[in-house]
Amino acid sequence: MLKEYIEIKDEVKKALDENKPVVSLESTIISHGMPYPQNVEMAREVERLVRENGSIPATIAILDGKIKVGLNDDELEYLGKAKGVVKTSRRDLPFILSKKLNGATTVASTMIISEMVGIKVFATGGIGGVHRNAQETFDISADLMELANTNVAVVCAGAKSILDIGLTLEYLETHGVPVVGFGTDEFPAFYTRKSGFGVDYKVENTKELAEAINMKWKLNLNGGIVIGNPIPREYEMDSDMINNVIENSVKEAEENNIKGKEATPYLLSKIKDVTKGKSLEANIKLVYNNAIVGSKLAYDLLNSK
């Protein structure tokens, strides 16, 4: 039944059939997260890094109403340039498919599709979470509910720092989602290595991590796992400066009534302008770092008991 709606790239299908490691990658970061041509250059380099570290990359998107698991170079280029690509989360999937539209998958929908086809590891930039002032707006990303229910391990540089990180971690704890620090005791804050909040567990390498993840799923403890992998130190931004920029940008978004799925792209673009592109460079470098860890983790998940 699903074959009608999902097209798996030959290279990815072969890897899945032969029980070889595959890492899924989202497409919202390409169509909504970065400007052209940096978005396409980033997507190609992420795929290269996944391959170089032992796994097969599967960038996921929806093109003409068909779920694509693994994109070719022309499709990556198209996603990077096309206008009107719909930011697609769980609630959007049935409509984007039935209307035969183009959709860029978020963390939530990438997790859903990954689980459908049997991909266990997903590398991204940062997860969505509880937005600042959520006690008034109730603005909480669907990514968090997906992490509570969908069996995919997500390697990220923490939650996007435009969010309320403390409330995001509280939400994950309530839903039993383990939050792991990769080589760190502190949950990373996207552009910076520290957030002021601890993690549930610290792991030193992907082998140790793979053993814990395999144990979780053997025990039928459904749901994902968040692996907080800090941005490399040399690309970290100054925390006081970036927090000041974020607070001003959030205030401006509120004044302009920008909310919902429009909020994150708006804030990231604003932050890029104010930091004169430094935040974009940091974003790209942290994604590369996550791709490397995700690739090694996918390999170790298949080779650990």
Which residues are catalytic, by number? 26, 160
CB 226, CB 187: distance < 8 Å: no
Q: Which long-range contacts (CB under 8 A, 24 or more apart) does 92-95 make?
A: 93/62
3-state helix, strand, coil split of the chain in percent (to 5) is 50, 20, 30
Can you tell me whether residue 91 is helix, strand or coil?
helix
Residue 124, both tokens: 């991204």
CB 254, CB 237: distance < 8 Å: no
Count of CB atoms within 10 A of residue 242's CB?
23
User: Sign of torsion, CA 168 174 176 182?
Assistant: positive
| Backbone phi, psi, residue 291, to 5° | -65, -40
C-alpha distances out from residue 147 to 7, 13, 47, 122, Å: 24, 25, 23, 12
Largest interatomic CA distance in the chain: 53
Residue with tokens 């793979």: 210
Secondary structure (DSSP) of 242-265: HHHHHHHHHHHHHHTT--GGGHHH
Residue with tokens 């074959």: 3
Residue (of 114, 134, 28, 145) closest to 301 by Cα position? 114
